[in-house]
A and B are shown apart, each in its own frame.
Chain A
């Protein structure tokens, strides 16, 4: 585990130093929220749970939980998910 932490730390410092966006270097999700109507999650690893009030999306080492009402998955592509509906919260669960 220590080795992985060290690797991550070096990577982050390198990306900071070279001004590279974190979603490429560190394999982080890029999340775009459009008001409370849409949320785009890029660089995901699939969905874990879906129902109209809750969507869980797996990202690199965390889970993103989107809560709201009447949630639908507008589209699912291998690297992008778009959730639509009345979004009330977005939480990172590790």
Chain B
């Protein structure tokens, strides 16, 4: 293979010789360290053989010595190919032209990609970029990405960050928009209840309260409405034109951003049970590791026991596989399984202890439903008794909290 490649690079010729003088010719050539190969019979008592281009002049000398003529019938290899190419100037020029054009065209920007914008339109960003003088078809070297980033961020106020990169013929503009806090008053927002509860106190900063202290509310109910109806006393005064159009009344309704604090008492209910005889597992400290290799569906154990020597254990498997590329998945996995021996022991509780434990567990469960740092007003733990005595303690826990339940929701 290497020889063939070398011969191709250096160039070689196929020559023909009359059969009768082949032996002498070949013997002299080989003693002079001329490499000949593929000596085959050709037509009309002629023998064809191949020889390197640089060995042709010494071969002429040998031919003169042995008095036999050879004819070159075929030239192959890179030197001849180049020679051939040099004669075809148009082809060479075309190839050169192609390369130059490819290079020249690749130094312009042909695409502008914008990513990450949601509220600001592509056209707006492109318009800003165009102002600076960057558009489709400008040369790459004229684009100063840092400068462009700066101008985009200055021109468009709604952007927090802009990244401009030139990737080949593509200008990539990545933007991150500012997340503005909900604006004041411009939005029409109701305050609705987050949870079911009993209103303890209500403080209205803006808006029209629809509930009062002592009311029970359900989740989603509007507490403070954004729509403020016109003051009633005013309406009473102007009762004279009874046919004051409804739409005028409608016009007087003001819409605001409802604001306020609504605290309510909320009840949580939970149930928990604790067995008097609890099974517990403790690690003994013994552990064993098994290393397997999975090829297809076959599993080969490389290291470790075939059977786990423990009666009670926890196994933890770690699977390593080769990264998949495109849709080629190599079905080989190395699995390390760790077995840790466990000792089972039983824990006995008496009834009061179990009750306390159940209460704690129930409270813990309910805590996950409550917001953090909530004020607990009252807890009530009751044991659920069944007709016949069991070795299990069941409890029902009711927790009463005081929470702020108002959440903003667009007015409908």
Contact = CB atoms under 8 A, between A and B. Distances in A.
A49 B22 CA distance: 8
B161 interface: no
Nearest to A81: B30
B-side interface mostly: mixed
Contacts of B41: 51-52, 72
B30 A72 contact: no
Nearest to B37: A75
13 contacts: A46-B23, A46-B27, A46-B31, A50-B23, A50-B47, A51-B19, A72-B39, A72-B40, A73-B26, A73-B39, A75-B38, A76-B37, A77-B30
Interface size class of B (residues with CB under 8 A): 10 to 19
B27 A47 contact: yes
Interface string A61-72: 000000000001
Contacts of A77: 30, 35
Nearest to B50: A75
Interface string B34-65: 01111111000001010000000000000000
B118 interface: no
B33 interface: yes
Contacts of B49: 73
Contact of B39 (A46, A48, A76): A76
B23 A76 contact: no
Given A76-B37, A76-B39, A47 B31 contact: no
B170 to A, nearest CB: 54
B23 A75 contact: no
Contacts of B33: 78
A90 B30 CA distance: 23
Contacts of A72: 38-41
A74 interface: yes
B30 A50 contact: no
Nearest to B19: A51
A47 B37 CA distance: 14
Contacts of A48: 23
The 6 closest A-B pairs by CB, nearest first: A46-B27, A73-B39, A75-B37, A72-B40, A52-B41, A76-B36
Interface residues of A, number: 14
Nearest to A52: B41
Interface of B: 19, 22-23, 26-27, 29-31, 33, 35-41, 47, 49
Interface string A51-62: 110000000000
Given A77-B30, A78-B30, A50 B39 contact: yes
Given A46-B23, A50-B22, A52-B41, 16 more contacts: A46-B26, A46-B30, A46-B31, A47-B26, A47-B27, A48-B23, A72-B40, A72-B41, A73-B37, A73-B38, A73-B39, A74-B38, A75-B37, A76-B36, A76-B37, A78-B30
A67 to B, nearest CB: 15
Nearest to B28: A46
A76 B38 contact: no
Nearest to A72: B40
Contacts of B31: 46, 78
Contact of B26 (A51, A52, A74, A76): A76
Contacts of B40: 52, 72
B35 to A, nearest CB: 7
B23 A47 contact: yes
Given A50-B39, A50-B47, A76 B19 contact: no
Contacts of A74: 37-38
B334 to A, nearest CB: 42
B12 to A, nearest CB: 12
A59 B204 CA distance: 118
Contacts of A78: 30-31, 33
A61 B367 CA distance: 105
A29 to B, nearest CB: 15
Contacts of B47: 50
B36 A75 contact: yes
Interface string A30-44: 000000000000000
Given A77-B30, A78-B30, A78-B31, A49 B38 contact: no
